[in-house]
């Protein structure tokens, strides 16, 4: 529960994972950032999927800094085949930017298999070493690959494993993997799927994640919540995720918002002021 947490005033909402840099959203970025602010979203993390995309995420984090936009930089497993020889210097250099709060998204995707699995594993390992070296949190994308991701993480040298701050973005491991994920000290982010009719298990997961390990996100333009299913998602819709998760946990929206704001601050390391 949220016992002992003191709330003063209304907390901001946080979209911990969005793709304003996607083809679907970039042309509307100004309007989307404005609508997010109107919906109470005080911070957003724009996530990169390859070098070009990561550059754009960093550009947006600077352009919209007054609106609390930050960036994550990395290579999505879909793009791993283009980076199997190593992460380019230009990408590594982005991690030093003051607006970059995390690396990723990186991981394994055996559902789409857009890159050969061996290359996905190799590029994922590069991100683990990179995150340990620069001491930045790492945003994980895992689809139909929990066994391999968890074995890899559990097999790391203990010093390295404990130095990594991990976030399972769009957590999809169900109840079956939750204990192992939490055992790694990782955080879990829940997205729009928690609002969908058939997502009973995800709502159970959302109820069981310890209060201090929970983050919320849109993953826009994908994963639109129930009222907008099949349409483009956007950061302002993170409110629907908050409402569904608050209901699943049996807590007030404000209590959830305060806890998630604190969790995001602890994970991403940003200050308490907006910029």
* Closer CB to Zn ion, 103 or 246, in the complex: 103
* Closer CB to Zn ion, 106 or 246, in the complex: 106
CB 107 → Zn ion: shortest distance, Å?
10
* Closer CB to Zn ion, 219 or 234, in the complex: 219
Q: Which helix (H) or strand (E) holds 237?
A: none
Q: Is 209 exposed, middle or buried (0-12, 13-18, 19+ CB in 10 A)?
A: buried
* Closer CB to Zn ion, 50 or 219, in the complex: 219
Size of the site for Zn ion (CB under 5 A): 1
CB 223 → Zn ion: shortest distance, Å?
9
CB 141 → Zn ion: shortest distance, Å?
6
* Closer CB to Zn ion, 68 or 192, in the complex: 192
Residue 99's alpha-carbon distances to 46, 238, 254, in angstroms, are 10, 21, 27
> Following DSSP, what letter does each residue of 54-103 receive, concatenated?
HHHHHHHHHHTGGGTEEEEE---GGGGGGGTT---HHHHHHTTSTTEEEE
Q: Is the peptide bond before 204 cis (omega within 30 degrees of 0)?
A: no
Q: Is the peptide bond before 197 cis (omega within 30 degrees of 0)?
A: no
CB 159 → Zn ion: shortest distance, Å?
29
* Strand, helix or coil for residue 12: coil
CB 19 → Zn ion: shortest distance, Å?
6
The contact mask relative to Zn ion for 213-232 (x = CB under 5 A, - = no) is ------x-------------
The contact mask relative to Zn ion for 181-220 (x = CB under 5 A, - = no) is --------------------------------------x-
Binding residues (CB under 5 A) for Zn ion: these are 219
């Amino acid at each position: 529960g949220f016992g002992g947490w003191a709330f003063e005033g209304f907390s901001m909402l946080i979209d911990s994972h969005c793709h304003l840099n996607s083809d679907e959203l970039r042309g509307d970025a100004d309007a989307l950032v404005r609508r997010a602010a109107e919906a109470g979203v005080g911070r957003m993390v724009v996530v990169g999927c390859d070098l070009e995309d990561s550059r754009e995420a960093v550009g947006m984090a600077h352009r919209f800094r007054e609106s609390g936009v930050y960036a994550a930089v990395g290579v999505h497993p879909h793009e791993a085949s283009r980076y199997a020889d190593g992460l380019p210097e230009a990408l590594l250099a982005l991690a030093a930017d003051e607006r970059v709060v995390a690396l990723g998204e990186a991981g394994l995707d055996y559902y789409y298999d857009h890159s050969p699995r061996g290359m996905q594993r190799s590029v994922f390992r590069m991100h683990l070493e990179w995150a340990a070296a620069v001491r930045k949190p790492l945003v994980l994308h895992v689809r139909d690959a929990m066994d391999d991701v968890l074995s890899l993480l559990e097999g790391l040298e203990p010093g390295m494993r404990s130095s990594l701050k991990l976030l399972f973005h769009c957590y999809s491991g169900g109840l079956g993997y939750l204990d192992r994920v939490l055992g790694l000290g990782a955080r879990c982010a829940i997205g729009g799927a928690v609002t969908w009719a058939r997502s009973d298990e995800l709502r159970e997961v959302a109820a069981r994640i310890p209060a201090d390990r929970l983050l919320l996100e849109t993953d826009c333009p994908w994963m639109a919540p129930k009222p907008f299913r099949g349409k483009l998602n956007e950061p302002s819709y993170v409110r629907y995720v908050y409402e569904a998760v608050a209901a699943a946990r049996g807590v007030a929206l404000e209590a959830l918002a305060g806890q998630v704001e604190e969790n995001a601050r602890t994970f991403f390391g940003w200050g308490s002021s907006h910029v």
